[in-house]
């Protein structure tokens, strides 16, 4: 059986130094694949972590923004950057400032961060600094940023074009037009 | 015509609804005469907010949701999602289930690759070849329908194992179907390697060099067609692949033809893998009981037909995920189109777009 790859010890040590305040750990799956998790002390350390990873030939797999509000009972965004480093997955996480969530761009080191940064900006309203204002990726400019922070029922999204919202709107309009029509119908049962 | 004093520079919009596109994507092309000088992509036409939906469903319900992200790689999504949950809970999936998962995955890969290669023939106007390859694919569709009861969404996975099993009769049907596919794909492979019209339209077209492929982080047959040995089944073997071992299929030229050849050659690899799985299928249970899922975060990845698929799961101790994010292979490959289309002919646009086997339902979620 093939031996599972391990993370470059030098890189591991340097990332641990960046994550001294936030903490670090590793895990593995049933097949023995390794996953390393580093929590940065500040989002400002992100470019330094990106430089270390880029220098070791890492590939940016994806970026995940999330809001663990159920854990903290108040909004507080975090962004996790997932890299493939010679077959090992490395996740570098940064907790963002509550008042003004912003994160520095890592496009200088990883060209393919572009779409990821544009997406987290539109879905979570997170500001990405040190790059031109990210253009919308999927959502229209008319939609407010941070769509993932809000619950938008389908009936609202579709402007009441279906479901009970449509029925209520029509009945409401009819009531406005002819006084107590709805009441009469309800009374008739 | 290629530029020159008489050439006119203009903007050519392609999509979001266009006869050459299977799904909606908008391309704003700067064209000089017949040559493309610049490409700008506009996405979002089928954005469904599925990641937001996933945060309002239980871990169990999300198996059904993830299977509906896309139809062509519909097995890879719940498979990888289940692996993420299993990694988080530290579950041990029985070996029989792991191997059965490989069979489902490789059956879908063969179908998906045949579909893409068929569409290539369709785009260049080789209709008889298109019909022939689709007919070969039909054998795979029949296999899926017979073994799993469905032609696209197999519903093969559950957290901790699989929801299907193979008996002697089904195994015989599967192997017989694969023999038939193998014989026919050998003929198809020969046509794609030697037909003069096909070679003229696909060789040296839409070239993505290895350095560009590395810089853009492309995955799957797009990366392997540009000479990168990037296959999760080989680089970080997971589940049943860790038991079997897979060698990546690589082509060096980085053009439309290379990407098609990677897919065709991978069909042979997949057939051999399935045969091995059937031969070496371990006994024992096909699933384990679902334990309580703790709070935490986990990753899982697999090699879907289009390349590396990554799932990130974050839980807080409830049965509803705190965050479920998936990064599909197409997401990484779109931006490579800008490099592939640089100075290409307008007539090659559809061919180049198809060569990355794009999945817009996957990309936009």
Measure the CA dihedral A58/A64/A67/A71, to 10°.
-60
Q: Say what the pLDDT of residue A70 is.
A: 60
Q: Say what the pLDDT of residue A90 is.
A: 95
A70-99: average pLDDT: 85
Nearest in space to A96 (alpha carbons), one of A123, A126, A138 = A126
Q: Which residue has the higher pLDDT, A108 or A100?
A: A108
Taking contacts as CB-CB distances below 8 angstroms, the residues of chain B near A84 are 235-236, 308
- Domain limits for position B134: 52-330
Number of A to B CB contacts under 8 A, please give it: 112
Q: Say what the pLDDT of residue B164 is.
A: 93
Q: Say what the pLDDT of residue A89 is.
A: 95
Q: Residue A1 above 80 pLDDT? A: no
Are A2 and B236 within 8 A, CB to CB? Answer: no
Identify the band that residue A41 occupies on the pLDDT scale cut at 50, 70 and 90: confident
Nearest in space to B311 (alpha carbons), one of B241, B235, B259, B238 = B238
Q: Say what the pLDDT of residue A152 is.
A: 62
pLDDT tens per residue across span B175-200: 999 999 999 999 999 999 999 999 99
The full length of chain B comes to 365
Q: Say what the pLDDT of residue B50 is.
A: 86
Interface check for A6 against chain B (CB to CB < 8 A): the answer is: no
> B36 with B341: CB under 8 angstroms?
yes
CA of A135: which chain B residue's CA is closest? B42
pLDDT tens per residue across span B77-115: 999 999 999 999 999 999 999 999 999 999 999 999 999
Domains and CATH numbers, chain A: 9-150 (3.30.460.80), 151-189 (no CATH)
A135-160: average pLDDT: 65
Residue of A123, A138, A140 for testing the chain B interface, max B β-carbons within 10 Å: A138
- In three-state secondary structure terms, A94 is strand
CA-to-CA dists, residue A156 to A162, B56, B94, B199, angstroms: 9, 17, 45, 52
Q: Say what the pLDDT of residue B5 is.
A: 41
CA distance B233 to B58: 29
Identify the band that residue A81 occupies on the pLDDT scale cut at 50, 70 and 90: very high
Are B242 and A66 within 8 A, CB to CB? Answer: no
Spatial neighbors of A21 by CB under 8 A, at least 6 apart, are A40, A41, A42
Question: Does residue B207 lie within any of the structural domains?
Answer: yes
Q: Cα angle vertex B231, ends B227, B236, to 5°?
A: 135
CATH number at residue B284: 1.10.645.10
ipTM: 0.85
Q: Say what the pLDDT of residue B181 is.
A: 96
Question: Does residue B5 lie within any of the structural domains?
Answer: no
Q: Say what the pLDDT of residue B29 is.
A: 85
Taking contacts as CB-CB distances below 8 angstroms, the residues of chain A near B301 are 61, 89
Are B242 and A2 within 8 A, CB to CB? Answer: yes
Q: Say what the pLDDT of residue B61 is.
A: 92
Give me the residues of A, 153-182, that contact B with CB < 8 A.
Answer: none
Chain B closest-CA separation from residue A136 CA (Å): 9
Question: Does residue B127 lie within any of the structural domains?
Answer: yes
Q: Say what the pLDDT of residue B223 is.
A: 95
Question: Does residue B17 lie within any of the structural domains?
Answer: no
For the record, the structure tokens of B226 come out as 């540009």
* Total number of domains constituting chain B: 1
Q: Say what the pLDDT of residue A118 is.
A: 87
Select from B215, B238, B334 the Cβ nearest to the Cβ of A33: B238
Q: Say what the pLDDT of residue A154 is.
A: 56
Question: Does residue B141 lie within any of the structural domains?
Answer: yes
Low-confidence ranges of chain B (pLDDT < 70): 1-7, 19-20
- β-strand pairing of A102-104 with A127-129: parallel
Identify the band that residue A188 occupies on the pLDDT scale cut at 50, 70 and 90: very low
For the record, the structure tokens of A67 come out as 């809001």
């Amino acid at each position: 059986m093939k031996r599972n790859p391990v993370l470059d010890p030098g890189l591991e040590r340097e990332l641990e130094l960046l994550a001294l305040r936030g903490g670090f750990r590793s895990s593995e799956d049933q097949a023995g694949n390794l996953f390393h998790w580093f929590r940065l002390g500040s989002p400002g350390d992100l470019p330094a972590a990106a430089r270390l990873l880029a220098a070791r030939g890492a590939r940016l797999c994806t970026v995940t923004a999330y809001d663990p509000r159920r854990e903290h009972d108040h909004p507080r965004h975090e962004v996790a950057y997932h890299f493939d480093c010679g077959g090992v997955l490395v996740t570098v996480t940064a907790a963002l400032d509550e008042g003004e969530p912003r994160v520095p761009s890592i496009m200088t080191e990883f060209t393919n961060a572009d779409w990821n940064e544009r997406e987290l900006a539109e879905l979570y309203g997170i500001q990405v600094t040190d790059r031109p204002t990210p253009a919308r990726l999927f959502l229209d400019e008319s939609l407010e940023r941070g769509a993932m922070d809000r619950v938008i029922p389908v009936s609202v999204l579709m402007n009441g074009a279906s479901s009970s919202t449509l029925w209520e709107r029509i009945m409401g309009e009819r009531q406005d037009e002819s006084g107590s029509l709805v009441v009469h119908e309800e009374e008739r049962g | 015509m290629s530029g020159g004093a008489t050439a006119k520079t203009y903007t050519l919009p392609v999509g979001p609804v266009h006869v050459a596109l299977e799904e909606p994507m908008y391309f704003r092309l700067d064209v000089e005469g017949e040559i493309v000088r610049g490409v700008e992509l506009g996405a979002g036409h089928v954005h469904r907010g599925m990641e937001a939906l996933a945060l309002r469903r239980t871990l169990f319900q999300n198996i059904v949701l993830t299977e509906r992200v896309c139809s062509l790689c519909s097995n890879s999504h719940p498979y990888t999602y289940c692996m993420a949950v299993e990694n988080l809970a530290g579950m041990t999936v029985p070996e029989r289930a792991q191997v059965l998962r490989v069979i489902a995955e490789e059956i879908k890969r063969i179908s998906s690759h045949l579909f893409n290669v068929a569409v290539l023939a369709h785009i260049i106007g080789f209709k008889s070849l298109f019909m022939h390859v689709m007919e070969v694919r039909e054998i795979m569709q029949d296999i899926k329908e017979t073994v799993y009861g469905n032609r696209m969404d197999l519903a093969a996975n559950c957290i901790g194992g699989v929801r299907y099993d193979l008996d002697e009769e089904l195994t015989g049907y599967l192997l017989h179907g694969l023999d038939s596919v193998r014989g026919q794909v050998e003929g198809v492979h020969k046509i794609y390697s030697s037909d003069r019209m096909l070679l003229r339209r696909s060789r040296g077209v839409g070239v993505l060099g290895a350095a560009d492929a590395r810089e853009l982080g492309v995955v799957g047959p797009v990366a392997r067609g540009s000479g990168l040995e990037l296959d999760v089944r080989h680089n970080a073997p997971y589940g049943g692949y860790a038991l079997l071992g897979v060698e990546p299929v690589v082509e060096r030229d980085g053009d439309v033809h290379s990407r098609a050849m990677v897919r065709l050659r991978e069909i042979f690899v997949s057939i051999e893998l399935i045969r091995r799985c059937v031969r070496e299928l371990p006994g024992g249970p096909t699933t384990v009981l679902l334990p309580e899922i703790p709070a935490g975060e986990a990753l899982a990845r697999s090699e879907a037909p289009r390349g590396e698929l990554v799932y990130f799961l974050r839980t807080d101790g409830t049965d509803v995920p705190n965050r479920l994010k998936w990064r599909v292979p197409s997401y990484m490959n779109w931006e490579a189109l800008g490099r592939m289309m640089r100075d290409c002919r307008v007539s090659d646009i559809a061919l180049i777009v198809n060569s990355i086997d794009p999945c817009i339902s996957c990309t936009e979620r």
